Amino acid sequence: MSSLLLSLLLLSSTSAYIVRPSTSSFKFSRTTTRLNGWGPDPIWTENSISALTPISTDPDIVSLKIKYDRISEFTKAGQYVQVQTPESDDKVSYLAMCNPPESEELSFMVKKSDSTSYLFNSPPSSLQVSQVLGSGFKIGDNIDGFKIDFPVNQVIFVCTGTGIAPIKSLIDSNEINLSESRKGILYWGLSNDSYCESLIEEFKGNENLDVVPVFSNPTVNQRIGYVQVR
């Protein structure tokens, strides 16, 4: 079963690999019940919030860090967890990790919504967190082997908004091994440059990654358009 949040599409006609959010395998609303017929029931444990800080000048986006008691379950970029408050069992958030595996904590980029508003209003000191879910990105021979006659030499990343989280996890894990012989291009759809501007600069510091922010509400002399993942 492919990851709920992400899929990798291998283009057999070129030496390129596209990383993008999946919209075909599963569809769900931002606010949903705690049980799901398509996957395992969540096994909840209570975990402390270690940090909750702004990411940018946009007040509706925060960085969330959790001291997770099952950190060894996080083994692949692209995996995710379900999160809810200890007092609630009717609003569940699906959050993909933005830090690489083998980290000491779980890190997330969270946008304000019906199911995450408690983090912005009166944040609790702890959260109910499920087991790690999803199989993550399946890289392996698709990237380094000879499945398409030669190893991939260009990786194209496509995402919008906080959908950058699992892609950041993948890039930081170095599993995809961007280098002089394997370059990456990131097309990141954003509303404007107040949205996670520090992360844009961080990505631009990677000499093997070409970052192309695409703004729907740009300021002067910025690339304008929309990144739409199908």
Sign of CA dihedral 84, 86, 89, 90: negative
At 10-24, the pLDDT tens digits run 333 335 556 665 543
Domain boundary among 85, 104, 129: 129
- Which structural domain range is residue 174 located in? 6-23+136-215
**In sequence order, what are the beta bridge partners of 224?**
215
Domain with residue 56: its CATH number is 2.40.30.10
At 21-63, the pLDDT tens digits run 554 333 333 443 344 445 689 999 999 999 999 988 888 999 9
Contact 128, 92 (CB under 8 A): no
Domain boundary among 106, 129, 152: 129
Same domain, 86 and 107: yes
Confidence band for 66, pLDDT divided at 50, 70 and 90: very high
DSSP class of 53: E
Q: Is residue 36 part of a domain?
A: no
Domain boundary among 129, 146, 174: 129
Q: Tell me how far the alpha carbon of residue 154 is from its chain's centroid.
A: 20
* pLDDT score for 128: 96
Q: Is residue 206 part of a domain?
A: yes
Same domain, 140 and 118: no
Q: Is residue 220 part of a domain?
A: no
Between CA 212 and CA 57 the distance in angstroms is 20
Same domain, 70 and 122: yes
Q: Is residue 76 part of a domain?
A: yes
